[in-house]
Amino acid sequence: MNDDSSIARIAAILRDEAARLGAGARLPSMREVSRRYGVGPVTVSRALAALAAEGKVVTRPGSGAFVAGSTPGGTGDTADFSWQTLALGDRAVGDSEVTTLLSPAPEGVIPLTSGYLHPDLRPVKGLTSAAARAVRRADVWGVPPLGGIAELRRWFATEAGGDVTQTDVLVVSGGQAALAHAFRALAGPGRPMLVETPTYPGALAAARAAGLHVTGVPVDEQGVRPDLLAEAFAVTGARVFYCQPTLHNPTGATQPAPRREQVLAVARAAGAFVIEDDYARYLTVGATPPSLISRDAHGTVVHVNSLSKVTAPSLRVAGVTARGPAARRLRAAQLVESFFVPRPLQETALEFLTSPAWRRHRATIAAELLARRDALAAALERHLPDARVRLLPSGGLHLWVRLPGETDETALVESAQREGVLVGPGAMYHPAEPPAPYLRLTHTAAAHTGELAEGVRRLAAAYARVTTRPTTASR
């Protein structure tokens, strides 16, 4: 008897068995059917596959085959998705930290979190006008140049500085997508990657989703420590280091020029890439430090410049600058993963960035950042003197606050929400165990400086509830 006829025979037997047993019943095991009818397990498996295609049975890995029901769900009982656990494997994608950063504050709760400007601080009129001009262009709904429209790439190249040209730039869908894209392209699953510690939680989540093993390198008030970076490269064998040299998230540190040269020298000696997340380029007050890539002539640095932090969350446009084989891989990976960034969004970004509205917005934001930073620091000094600001940054969106060593950080965050204020737990900024309890407090998500002061007052009340230490809740 040939295989086809054996499969048909077993399928007919099991079809009759299913009709007799009724919906939801478990069919005999593959081993039992093989023994009973003298056929191999492959024949039984193919017969069951044929019945599953007919909708007669449902197979559940690890449980067996069951008679399909007549209900819309097809199984006759509650849907069982447990089979997916085996199919998906053991690699998890964690989104809790990113969800925390993106979730809006409930009504009546003051946000001292978020990485975006309050709606009143966003250049909505300028963006709306730019979008209106962009969509009037005749070719706006067509396929753009695959690496990005030339004028926008040229703008990103100029901002990067040094000898970067538009041909070095790839336009992608925002900073988070740029990081995930670079991590996957430059370091394969299972490989080590170095990051600053603490660091941006979205980068940690993207690295772990890419299957990378993350090791943290400590920072001080001038950014990552070059001596420990060199040691980490030697110990782990990593060939990728992710960092934020300007207004590091969350500490606010900015690397001075000598430190930047040291970091580049260490990476070159290790034969490693430096992924420079330049998210805060337009959040500095005063002169913007030269980027790492402007000092790099050897293709060591992959530079990411994104726009949503300084403008609006949905202006998800970023420029990724790279040279050499890494650039070719990044472009190829972008093409096969997502084709291109929609042209209307690219054209809107270009219209806005080349208009007077962009220059006006940057001037307005620079003044606002200083006022809010100082207001937040003053509120902490007044209402919560036990909390220490590690560094008063030259711009940015937040302050990194050290709590007394015995503080239960998780309990404080939960108590703060009950008091009506959202704060960012420090633990989620560390790739491993944090050295001490911290909070990251954002000053640009609140409506105004008065709301900032009220948020800190509520935080002080929450702190008083979770610690036995005396604290000055108000004066």
Q: What's the pLDDT tens digit per position in 243-254?
A: 999 999 999 999
Q: Name the superfamily (CATH) of residues 96-119+358-466.
A: Aspartate Aminotransferase, domain 1 (3.90.1150.10)
Residues of the chain with CATH 1.10.10.10: 3-88
CATH of domain 135-355: 3.40.640.10
Here the tokens at position 404 are 């007394």
Is 80 exceeded by the pLDDT of residue 336? yes
The separation between CA 197 and the C-alpha centre of its own chain, rounded to angstroms, equals: 16
- Taking only Cα atoms into account, the Rg of the chain, rounded to an integer number of angstroms, comes to 28
pTM over 0.85: no
Distance between CA atoms of 335 and 317, rounded to whole angstroms? 16
Residues of the chain with CATH 3.40.640.10: 135-355
209 touches 180 (CB < 8 A): yes
**Number of residues written out for the chain:** 475
Residues of the chain with CATH 3.90.1150.10: 96-119+358-466
Tens digit of each residue's pLDDT (9 = 90 or more) over 349-374: 999 999 999 999 999 999 999 999 99
Q: What is the pLDDT of residue 65?
A: 84
Distance between CA atoms of 342 and 285, rounded to whole angstroms? 32
Distance between CA atoms of 103 and 405, rounded to whole angstroms? 28
262 touches 411 (CB < 8 A): no
Q: At how many degrees (to 10) do helices 343-353 and 356-383 cross?
A: 80
Distance between CA atoms of 269 and 390, rounded to whole angstroms? 31
Distance between CA atoms of 364 and 358, rounded to whole angstroms? 10
Give the residue-averaged pLDDT of 78-105: 72
SS3 474: coil
Domain 3-88 has CATH 1.10.10.10: yes
Tens digit of each residue's pLDDT (9 = 90 or more) over 32-70: 888 888 888 888 888 888 888 888 888 776 678 888 875
Measured CA to CA in angstroms, residue 336 lies from 64, 275, 339 at distances of 38, 21, 6
Mean pLDDT over the full length of the chain:
89
Q: For residue 138, count other CB atoms closer than 10 A to its CB.
A: 6
Is 90 exceeded by the pLDDT of residue 462? yes
Per mean pLDDT, which range of 95-99, 187-191, 232-236 is the poorest? 95-99
Q: What is the pLDDT of residue 472?
A: 47
Tens digit of each residue's pLDDT (9 = 90 or more) over 127-150: 999 999 999 988 889 999 999 999
